[in-house]
Amino acid sequence: MTDAPVIRTTPKLPLSEEKKLSSVKGDSVHWAVLYGVSGLFALICAVFLISVVVSSIPAWRHSGLSIIYSRVWNQGTNSFGALPIIAGTLATTAIALLFAIPIGVGSALAIVHVLPDRLRIPLSSLVELLAAVPSVVYGLWGLLVLAPWFEHSVEPGLAAVTGHKFPFQAPPEGVSLLLAGCVLFVMILPMIVALSRDAIAIVPHDQFEGALSVGATKWQVVRKVVLPGARTGIVGAVTLATARALGETVAVAMVIGLNPLFPHSLFSTASTLASTIALQFQDATPLEVAALGALALILMVMTAVVNWFGRRLVRHSAYRAGVL
Amino acid sequence: MVDPMMMVTVSSGVDGQESDPRSGPLSMRFEDVSVTFNGRTAIRDVNFDVPKNKVTSLIGPSGSGKTTLLRAINRLHDLTKGAVVSGSIRLGNTDIYGGEIPATLLRTRVGMVFQRPNPFPTMSIFDNVVSGLRFNGIRKRSVLEEAAESALIGAALWDSVSNRMKAHASTLSGGEQQRLCIARALAVEPEVLLMDEPTSSLDPISMRLIEELVGELKSRVTIVIVTHNMQQAARVSDLCAFFLMGADRAGEQIEVAPTRKLFSDPDDPRTLDYIQGRFG
Amino acid sequence: MTTGVIEEIPPDPILERREMVQRVARRTFERRMRVSQAMIGLCAVGLLVALVPLFAILYSLISKGVHWWSIDFFTKVPQFPSLIDPNEVGGISNAIIGSLVIDAIAALFAIPIGVVAGLFLAESTSKFANALRTTAEIMTGLPSILLGIFAYQMIVIGFNEWGIKLPGIGFSGLAGSFAIGILMIPIIMKASETALRAVPAPIREAGLALGARRGVVARKVIIPTALPGLVTAVLLAFSRAVGETAPILWVIGASTVVSWNPKKEMASMPLQIFQSATSPYVSLREEAWGIALLLVVIVLVINLGSRLLAAWLQRERR
């Protein structure tokens, strides 16, 4: 099915051949250990995945699919509608991607094709440094540095420029959908830059020269040869970053205001699936716990689908580069 | 051991006459050309003329700077930091490095075919061939189709691919891909076609095909070909320029002569040594 | 060639095309060049923009955090800001120790499981191996809060279904270790598999060809050869674990004393940052920077250290 992208110099033995080799007694111990440990981990994963599904069943039984399309989340009345929360999740992710894709791919292009050789590795490392920063630190920075700035300068500025029209009409509070989207943008940027850079660098220099030698300008080569060549890798990078943004918990929880009402403006406080699960958990009633489990299930499905899609594309890109 | 290759047919004038290829119009002139990378000289003091509509080959052992010289002609060294080309390379009346013509436009007049075929993998055969025309602003479908047909015929590929122009370039064999690259270079109708060891990664049959092509194409474009295969040089070229790596590890021009002469009665003893297989 | 008769030379389509190409190319050149320079310039600007947040965060961390670092900071336990002295917040020794214990225990069981499972993936081509690999990929993509909830259900409350009864031990460091460990395993698994597969096949098969048992080959040949890659994998997973907040959010309790006992409630640095940053007390919010700086320094040291260590190990090999 899926294989790690590795170049093999000799063909791998099929398992049947491996089994023949393991006729020596020591070998069966080896395989027993390997299977045992892997099986243990597989078991833990299975229990985990099942528990998420099972714990949410009471909620599905109680509210049915209204969890997905209803707008009200009220512990007291036992009504759990997650539409605003799903909207918040999608909106913050969309904002993050809106900025991260052009800036991320552009940076990757700059790293590979604009920077002089000796600057390439240092600057790449610098961008990757951003990736090592823990989410909670992003949340801290977002809450204590960005939020006041947004509240006093950015959001009023945007409101003034657009005449207080949608989506800038709510009173600025700093903590908002927009802020969360921006923090997410900073968090997924290094991932997009690093993976796009790899995809762009893999496009052979030969092809670059080939395009130049028929009279193309540098940008034309990038547009018609480099980017199409790196396309699968870049799309893969973006889908992986999307999955990360959808599931980010702590940083978003700190800057979004956790409001289960439907956000009508970018300046409104809102909620996302992950942050709701994280922050509502403590005081949740048993039924609410099940509802949170339902949110988890929704999130799991969303994240898993996006991830699977992303990894397939990234692998496909490497395969094509290797073939050609 | 006397090289039996001296008996091989040497390319000569259009109707079999042994005219000196150096008489007749000039395509390019090298005057005191040197190429250095960060101060280290790769090739120096190149002085000769490239005749129009003939095949000139650059031969010599590895390290003699012939590929470096070739890539200087279409200004590929512009991409390399620290590369300096001194002297003058004239294409017609234009000094290539004189600031009169931008590199991008120069490359529409001087095309290149590389050692390993490098068609654009995300494009179809048709898109590959006309890519140069599109880059330069030519969009009209009918014009592109005419040019594609002419280029593919010139590259002896038309018969194979005319019915699958939408197919991806990767569906072609190695030899076909190289001919696709030749077609791609031809489509912009350059005056000069540079070929950097174009057959070294191909099987013998494809190699012969391309050698025949070179002979046919010279009436359309001036050809400068780098090859480390002496027999190939003897087979395809009219004029031969022989280079060697000097004591200072810089390539230098040893002898430039009509192929027939270079391979039968060279002036320089080092040339004689090379063609008799004593080094390289 | 020459016939002595003046003929009308038919227009040569090739020469015509050549002229046409030159004409159009020259005409479009200016605009193409300008577009190219502008777009490439934009990309460079994009790169600069991408670096701005990094410098902004580092600046804030250092300027707001460094002055918190004192002996007290590292050795005292937190004090609730009182009305008398709202600036007296004590230190974070409990969080430092707590992080240490929780992450160490997590690493203790995650590393062996992760590496062995990685070895399994590298050596087996069975369907089970493929399924496991996909599962690992799914797990790494999941929001870590879910693992925290899982730890809550398994360790804090205890498991009481399907006839199996595991007593819960309440809020505890162990629950946190459990969650973080499960977080680390798939990361280590995938990176180990890559490192182990990178061992050239001839080296691998040479051992087998000599008749050695697989286990011996693995231990004495494959793992040592892949050691630099494995070390990097483990250290990077660990640096990720150190910074995780979500999995331990509700499972480790809220201890304010230094505790080395994982069965009891504990504190942790990332959790402390979260709580302090969202607290109503200004002094606590400011203290969060000090903790954050410490955390970032630790993570960076581990990251850089892993690269240096891997490079050193590679050299030692030659």
The predicted-structure confidence for A254-280, as pLDDT tens digits, reads as follows: 998 888 788 888 888 888 989 988 888
Chain A residues within 8 A of C189 when measuring between CB atoms:
41
- Residue numbers in A near C37 (CB within 8 A): 219
Is pLDDT above 90 for C40? Answer: yes
Return the CATH fold of B25-275: Rossmann fold (3.40.50)
- B108 CB neighbours in chain A (<8 A) are 214-215
Q: Can you give the residue range of the structural domain that contains A272?
A: 83-323
Torsion of CA B120, B122, B124, B128, to 10 degrees: -30
What mean pLDDT comes out for the span B229-234? 90
C: neighbours with 3+ CB pairs under 8 Å? A, B
Say if the Cβ atoms of C29 and B147 lie within 8 Å.
no
- Span B153-185, pLDDT tens digits: 999 999 989 888 888 888 899 899 999 999 999
Over residues B20-79, the pLDDT tens digits come to 777 788 889 999 999 999 989 999 999 999 999 999 999 998 888 999 999 999 999 998
Q: Does B118 touch chain C (CB under 8 A)?
A: no
Whether residue C220 is contained in a domain is answered as yes
**Using CB atoms, which residue from A2, A48, A109 is nearest to C130?**
A2
Q: Tens digits of per-residue pLDDT, B103-129? A: 999 999 999 999 999 999 988 999 999
Taking all residues of chain B, what is their mean pLDDT, rounded to a whole number?
88
Residue A290's pLDDT band, with cuts at 50, 70 and 90, is confident
Q: How far is C74 from chain A, CA to nearest CA, in Å?
A: 19
Residue C14 within any structural domain of the chain: no
Q: Contact C248/C172 with Cβ under 8 angstroms?
A: no
Using DSSP's 3-state secondary structure scheme, residue B113 falls into: strand
Distance from the Cα of A194 to chain B's closest Cα (Å) equals 23
Is C261 domain-assigned?
yes
Residue C131 sits in a domain whose CATH number is: 1.10.3720.10
Domain that holds residue C176: 94-317
Are B257 and B18 in contact by the 8 Å Cβ rule? The answer is no
User: Which residue bears the tokens 């060891």?
Assistant: B197
Q: Which of B82-91, C75-84, C276-285 has the highest mean pLDDT?
A: B82-91
Indicate whether C158 pLDDT > 90: no
Q: How many domains does one find in chain A? A: 1
Chain C contacts to B (CB-CB under 8 A): 1, 13-14, 17-18, 20-22, 24-29, 32-33
- CB spacing of C50 vs A104 below 8 angstroms: yes
- The band of B136, judged by pLDDT with boundaries at 50, 70 and 90, is very high
Tell me how far apart the alpha carbons of residues A8 and A6 are, in angstroms, rounded to a whole number: 6
3-state secondary structure C122-147: HHCCCHHHHHHHHHHHHHHHCCCHHH
Q: Where are the alpha helices (DSSP H) in chain C?
A: 13-65, 71-75, 93-123, 127-141, 145-151, 173-197, 201-209, 214-217, 223-242, 269-277, 282-317
Cβ-defined contact of C44 to A110 (cutoff 8 Å): yes
The answer to whether position C162 is within a domain reads yes
Tell me the pLDDT band of C175, cut-offs 50, 70 and 90. Answer: confident
Residue type, A291: A
Confidence (pLDDT) at C259: 77
Instruction: Give the per-residue pLDDT at B4.
Output: 44
The more confidently predicted of residues C53 and C211 is C53
Better-scored residue on pLDDT, A12 or C294: C294
Query: How many CB atoms neighbour CB A275 within 10 A?
Result: 29
Confidence check: pLDDT of C81 > 70: no
The pTM (predicted TM-score) of the whole model is: 0.84
Q: Does some domain include residue A155?
A: yes
Q: What is the mean pLDDT of residues C125-153?
A: 86
B118–A213 CB contact, under 8 Å: no
Please return the burial class of A255, using the count of CB atoms within 10 Å of its CB with bins 0-12, 13-18 and 19+: buried
Among the residue ranges C55-69, C186-200, C250-264, the one predicted with the least confidence is C250-264
Q: How many CB atoms lie within 10 A of CB B199?
A: 24
Cβ distance of C25 and B15 shorter than 8 Å? no
Average pLDDT of chain C is: 84
Q: Do B136 and C18 touch (CB under 8 A)?
A: no
Closest by CA to B58, choosing from B39, B74, B71, is B71
How sure is the predictor about B18, in pLDDT bands with cuts at 50, 70 and 90?
A: low
Evaluate whether residue A22 is within a structural domain.
Answer: no
- Which of 243-302 (A) contact C at CB < 8 A? 243-244, 246-250, 254, 274, 277-278, 281-282, 292-293, 296, 299-300
Segment (H or E) for B50: strand B40-51
A 10 A CB-CB count for A274 gives 29
Q: Least CB-CB distance to A215: which of B120, B122, B132?
A: B132
pLDDT at A22: 47
B136 to chain C, closest Cα gap in Å: 5
The interface pTM score, or ipTM, of the predicted complex is 0.88
As for how many domains chain C has, the answer is 1
C184 within a domain of the structure (yes/no): yes
Q: How far apart are CA A26 and CA C84, in angstroms?
A: 70
C7 lies in a domain? no
Q: What is the pLDDT of residue C62?
A: 92
C304 inside domain: yes
Give residue-wise pLDDT tens across range C95-113. Answer: 888 899 899 999 999 999 9
